[in-house]
A and B are shown apart, each in its own frame.
Chain A
């Protein structure tokens, strides 16, 4: 038998690591102090001295935080390639938007007054769950996309990385809350949406092109719709869902607009590439063959509360607002003129016609 004493005899002392104090004498910047402000200690407040200097290009594919000293000895390449030019991913607002995302997290379990969901007429309940089926799909892809890009963001441009990480979280919650609404009140999930341009966003191999499609056009349209959630909602729970989701979408749209602005200010020649991307994506969005058969019908039905003519009238009101806000965002980003030059897809331009 092996006794406990015998085992103790064989147990060794744990081996200690080598003591290396060379890091105590680094040449990094000393004396940086950041005081918390009204909102606490935000990223904005720590972005000072060398730590706040954003390199225009970064060739560092490691996880080394911006401003840290390089390690001694050989280091591995952590990712096959990074988007090293700031123009490829950066946004001046990314840090602010990340801070805001963290402070505005909400819970679909407890922040939605689910007890206000009363029994709805069956046609309305069906229309609502059809809309939610389409939305949970869209949000699902919207979470996959930033996940795909995360390994390509340089740690030197960490603000954009953090923003995309917060977007992953937001989209998880949106996927979840629309699924919850579909299954909360006696309805269920209905018809899949049929793609509708989601694949183009996923397959983009240029970050700015992806962001123009996802953040500016796709999420922009969704945000305009959510902001009119009062027209669709039938109870306080649904109103709250649209309001909270719209708040999140606003951040995503703001990132897309400010990223594009940054890119075009530094690389104006990229404008045509983005125009071309939007030509393609607008075309997909209005292509009847790509259209989501459930989404349009359910939306019109909900907007008119079962009165389809009234629903159509309000649908065009929503679409007009979506297009106007889209054009305004492009203007702010420095990509104005799509309407004036006839480049905006005719089906979208037609939505601006008051009649």
Chain B
């Protein structure tokens, strides 16, 4: 319990000196001792351990447009800071705090954690193909960091866990950008050709955070399926390591995006059709982008050079099928299994799925 005599004496000393002492009058939720839960075995003092008492009450609607920390006492003179997201369902996932700490625990350094000395000459076609893939990975990293970063100024402190986690996404995306740039410039190749990137517009144009999330689920799923082919695509230990490290980061991002969408679908099922519209758009741009450079570079690697590339296109088709299946798999996890029936027709071809008209003819 607070010791009133000690506080009264402190107030008196401050006031005699002309200093404000109102902060000592705040009714403190005394006795929150998060440190007691922190041990080396459970990962130290993790953010989730702070979420007790009033500090752990995450409101459905946050009604303060300043930077006030959740659980602090407002100073009503403070100007509004321009946030626009005050609705828990729009951003929340129960996993944010843990994912934030996981991201920090999994941190890596592209300068020193990739065995760059394992790079060796691999032949001109293969080097060009690796560098072409690297160029496009870099582009996605840049886009992902920019488009994630812009949401920070929209989300209020009520959902601090989300913002902390998004901070790690921005940083991971920076590393995605630069580790692949390094690969392109380390081994005698150089950067390849930039993508047309119409497909990224749904990320840059999103008006709501959840719209951004579903577009991210699509792009991250596509990327993840490609990264999971790292063992097959990597030419050296350095690349194997890059694929592995990036894969772990992207899986973490998807865990958040998917858990958030699951939360949104449970809390606001009325938004289902709206979300489908965002997916319609994201899939349309992906299907119509028409830039097959990335897949062609993959084919050159799988075919061990340009001569084998055409034959390798069957394997590339399988990869693209895996990408769509990965995407649909994540959507199933967030209660959007019905997307399978509404998937863009071009993407259905990528996945080798039965066409809707044919489905209707199946005798039951």
Contacts and interface: CB of A to CB of B under 8 A. Distances in A.
Contacts of B150: 147-148, 150-151
Contact of B128 (A23, A102, A296): A23
A186 B26 contact: no
B321 A172 contact: no
Contacts, number: 444
A46 B174 contact: no
B362 interface: yes
A186 B194 contact: no
A334 interface: no
A186 B167 contact: no
A109 B110 contact: no
B138 to A, nearest CB: 5
Interface residues of B, number: 145
A67 B191 CA distance: 6
A40 interface: yes
A342 interface: no
Contacts of A56: none
Interface of B: 2-3, 6-7, 9-10, 13-14, 16-17, 19-24, 26, 28-35, 38, 40, 43-47, 50, 52-53, 55, 66-75, 77-79, 81-82, 100-101, 104-105, 107, 109-114, 116-117, 125, 128-129, 132, 135, 138-140, 142-143, 145-147, 149-153, 157, 160, 163-164, 167-168, 170-171, 173-175, 177-178, 181-182, 185-198, 200-201, 204, 290-293, 295-297, 299-300, 306, 309-310, 313-314, 316-318, 320-321, 349-355, 358-359, 362-364
A189 B197 contact: no
B42 to A, nearest CB: 10
Contacts of B38: 109, 114-115, 184
A4 interface: no
A17 B73 contact: no
Give the 3 A-B residue pairs with the shortest CB-CB distance, closest first: A172-B167, A147-B152, A64-B194
B295 A17 contact: yes
Contacts of B47: 109, 176, 180
A109 B310 CA distance: 51
Contact of A308 (B3, B17, B173): B17
27 contacts: A7-B354, A7-B362, A10-B354, A14-B352, A16-B314, A19-B299, A20-B293, A39-B112, A41-B111, A43-B182, A51-B185, A51-B191, A71-B194, A72-B193, A76-B196, A99-B111, A110-B40, A114-B44, A123-B6, A147-B170, A165-B173, A179-B50, A188-B30, A191-B75, A192-B69, A195-B75, A309-B17
A168 B358 contact: no
Interface string A175-205: 1100110111111111111110011001100
Among B32, B72, B197, B362, the most chain A Cβ lie within 10 Å of the Cβ of B72
Contact of A168 (B22, B78, B152): B152
B302 to A, nearest CB: 12
Contacts of A10: 354, 358-359, 362
Interface in A5-23: 6-7, 10-21, 23
B186 A33 contact: yes
Interface of A: 1-2, 6-7, 10-21, 23-24, 26, 28-36, 39-43, 46, 48, 51, 62-65, 67-76, 78-79, 98-99, 102-103, 105, 107-110, 112, 114-115, 117, 121-123, 126-127, 129-130, 133, 136-137, 140-141, 143-148, 150-151, 153, 155, 158, 161-162, 164-166, 168-169, 171-173, 175-176, 179-180, 182-195, 198-199, 202-203, 289, 293-294, 296-298, 300-301, 306, 308-309, 312
A193 B75 contact: yes
A14 to B, nearest CB: 4
A40 B81 contact: no
Given A65-B138, A296-B20, A34 B186 contact: yes
B364 A2 contact: yes
